[in-house]
């Protein structure tokens, strides 16, 4: 009979909360998660879960081996924090100046550790194995840690048939899960444009090529890409988030730098927007006798769920949390490094509701006052563990 883990996380609830709070107090930015990695290894070792480490420098792979032969399911959590100064006032606020777990990766890590404990407790009779994948550098777009972990051979010995990941979500209350087949997050490309004009005195603009004016025209031109070059039934965002130009009020700028991001769901839309971006930037600059130097980073791919495994998440969540636990949701154009795993392995990425029911306002991801309702931690760990178990049995039945 398939093991049922509902309520079993209660035995580990305090330990999961404690681990989350410890990680929250000592956050580490992308690529520097050495203490976080050590804490994960210690917690796996305490329960006799074997692991290997060093993938993408700080990544960890735990392996829970069932007693019966079968397939392999991977569960992934990201472990890095953000360079944000925390402005909360709870008892476990970050002790690291300018660094904060403002995206919930502390909770992801703690819940995956807890899920590993739960699966390890019922490994007798389990068909196959569960991989516990702790990934660094999720926030380090466009490089990220997923691709490097795979290059470093994280799946060399055990190749998963299915892979899952969850992300805390302040738009949903604790006890609800957001999942859908198809796109969940978008591509997250980045760009930098440096416009070179000719500087001079503000009183003699006819002797100059004003880089600020050129930049203004470039920005205006780029705002037509989504409205005039993208199919209205498709989604795309092109945002200029940063401008640097000029040195003095009475000097015409020789140089202007623009930085921003392009977000899409499909590869066809991405390539269309990228092509028009280059054409407009180059064309506008040339028409105004300036030059434009473009640096373009292809970021994370879209995170696209395999429909059958998104449905598995939905069914497991409803069994654990009730028939109303999986409301309809829309995808997001936020970027997510987990999409790289889904290019090679089928699986699903889903949202774990963590909003406080009595909060006067919702603090979004990457906010300096972001926090979660810790009541979501136990069901989040149980859901990951039960999802792995249900998937192994579903794979066995095929």
Q: Check whether residue 27 and residue 135 sit in a common domain.
A: yes
For residue 354 the two structure tokens come to: 């963590």
Same domain flag for 172 and 30? yes
Q: Assess contact for 191 and 297: CB atoms under 8 A.
A: yes
| In a shared domain, residues 250 and 103 | no
Please list, in sequence order, all residues whose beta carbon lies within 8 angstroms of the beta carbon of residue 35, skipping any fewer than 6 positions away. 26, 28
Asked whether the predicted pLDDT for residue 359 surpasses 80, the reply is: no
Q: Which residue, of 297, 330, 357, is where some domain finishes?
A: 297
Single residue among 247, 273, 297 that ends a domain in this structure: 297
Q: In whole numbers, what is the pLDDT of the chain averaged over residues?
A: 97
End-to-end CA distance of the chain: 17
Q: In this structure, what token pair is assigned to residue 213?
A: 């004016």
Q: Say which residues have a Cβ less than 8 Å from residue 358's Cβ, sequence separation at least 6.
A: none
Q: What is the pLDDT of residue 182?
A: 97
In a domain, 308, yes or no: yes
Chain segment 161-215, per-residue pLDDT in tens? 999 999 999 999 999 999 999 999 999 999 999 999 999 999 999 999 999 999 9
* 155 and 211 fall within a common domain: no
The answer to whether position 1 is within a domain reads: no
Considering the domain architecture, whether residues 50 and 132 belong to the same structural domain is answered as yes
Locate the DSSP E strands across 66-176: 68-78, 127-135, 162-173
Confidence of residue 340 (pLDDT cuts 50, 70, 90): very high
Give the whole-angstrom CA distance, residue 16 versus residue 72: 25
Read off the tokens for 247. 């040195």
- Domain boundary (247, 274, 297) is at 297
Average pLDDT, integer, range 84-99: 97
Cα–Cα distances in Å, from 373 out to 137, 174, 175, 301?
24, 7, 10, 30
Q: Which domain holds residue 273?
A: 189-297
**Cα distance between residue 184 and residue 174, in whole Å:** 20
The answer to whether residue 3 is domain-embedded is no
Give the number of domains in the chain: 2
Share of the chain above pLDDT 90, in %: 96
Helices and strands: H and E segment counts in the chain:
9, 15
Give the residue numbers marked as catalytic: 80, 138
**Is residue 126 a part of any domain in this protein?**
yes
Per-residue pLDDT of 102-134, as tens digits, reads 999 999 999 999 999 999 999 999 999 999 999
86/265 Cα distance (integer angstroms)? 32
Q: Are residues 212 and 278 in the same domain?
A: yes
Q: Give the pLDDT score at 362.
A: 80
Q: Select from 88, 84, 89, 90 the least CA-distant residue to 102.
A: 84
Q: Are residues 54 and 30 in the same domain?
A: yes
Q: Could you tell me if 19 and 158 lie in one domain?
A: yes
Q: Specify the CATH number for the domain of residue 307.
A: 3.40.630.10
Residue 122 lies in a domain: yes
Residues written for the chain? 398
Asked if 226 and 77 sit in the same domain, the reply is no
Q: Residue 222: which of 151, 274, 161, 145 has the closest Cα?
A: 274
Q: What is the pLDDT of residue 40?
A: 98
Residue 2 lies in a domain: no
User: Is residue 217 located within the same domain as residue 288?
Assistant: yes
Whether 373 maps to a domain, the answer reads yes
| Residue 361 pLDDT greater than 90, yes or no | no
- Determine the Cα–Cα distance for residues 356 and 376; give it in Å rounded to an integer: 10
pLDDT of residue 165: 98
pLDDT > 90? residue 358: no
Phi-psi region of 56 (alpha: psi -120 to 50; beta: other; left: phi over 0): left
- Has residue 321 been placed in a domain? yes
Rg (CA), the chain: 24
CATH number at residue 263: 3.30.70.360
In the structure encoding, which two tokens stand for residue 327, read together?
A: 């409301």
CB atoms within 10 A of CB 382: 26
Please tell me whether residues 284 and 163 are part of one structural domain. no
**Do residues 76 and 106 share a domain?**
yes
pLDDT tens across 204-263, in order?
Answer: 999 999 999 999 999 999 999 999 999 999 999 999 999 999 999 999 999 999 999 999
pLDDT > 90? residue 398: no
Whether residue 300 is predicted with pLDDT greater than 80 in this model: the reply is: yes
């Amino acid at each position: 009979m398939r093991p049922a883990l509902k309520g079993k996380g209660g035995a580990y609830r305090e330990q999961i909360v404690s681990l989350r709070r410890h990680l929250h107090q000592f956050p580490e930015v992308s690529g520097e998660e050495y203490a976080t990695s050590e804490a994960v290894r210690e917690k796996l070792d305490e329960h006799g879960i074997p692991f290997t480490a060093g993938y993408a420098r700080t990544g960890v792979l735990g392996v829970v081996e069932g007693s019966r032969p079968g397939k392999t399911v991977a569960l992934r959590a990201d472990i890095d924090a953000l360079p944000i100064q925390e402005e909360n006032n709870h008892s476990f606020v970050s002790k690291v100046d300018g660094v904060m777990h403002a995206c919930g990766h502390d909770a992801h890590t703690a819940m995956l550790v807890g899920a590993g404990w739960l699966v390890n407790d019922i490994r007798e009779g389990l068909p196959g194995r569960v991989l516990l994948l702790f990934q660094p550098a999720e926030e380090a777009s466009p490089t990220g840690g997923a691709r490097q972990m795979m290059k470093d051979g994280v799946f060399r010995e055990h190749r998963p048939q299915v892979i899952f990941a969850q992300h805390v979500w302040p738009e949903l209350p604790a006890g609800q899960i957001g999942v859908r087949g198809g796109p969940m997050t978008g591509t997250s490309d980045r760009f930098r444009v440096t416009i070179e004009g000719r500087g001079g005195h503000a009183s003699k603009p006819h002797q100059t090529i004003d880089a600020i004016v050129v930049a203004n025209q470039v920005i205006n031109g780029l705002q037509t890409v989504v409205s005039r070059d993208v199919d209205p039934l498709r989604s795309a965002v092109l945002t200029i988030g940063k401008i640097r130009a000029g040195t003095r009020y009475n000097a015409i700028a020789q140089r202007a730098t623009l930085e921003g991001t392009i977000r899409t769901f499909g590869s066809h839309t991405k390539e269309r927007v990228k092509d028009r971006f280059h054409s407009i930037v180059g064309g506008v600059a040339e028409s105004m006798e300036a030059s434009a130097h473009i640096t373009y980073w292809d970021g994370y791919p879209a995170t696209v769920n395999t429909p059958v495994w998104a449905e598995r998440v939905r069914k497991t969540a409803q069994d654990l949390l009730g028939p109303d636990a999986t409301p309809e949701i829309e995808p997001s154009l936020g970027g997510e490094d987990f999409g790289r795993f889904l290019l090679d392995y089928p699986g699903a990425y889903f949202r774990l509701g963590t909003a406080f029911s009595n909060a006067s306002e919702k603090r979004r991801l990457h906010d300096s006052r972001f926090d979660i309702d810790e009541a979501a931690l136990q069901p989040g760990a149980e859901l990951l563990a039960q999802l792995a178990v249900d998937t192994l049995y579903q794979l066995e039945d095929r």
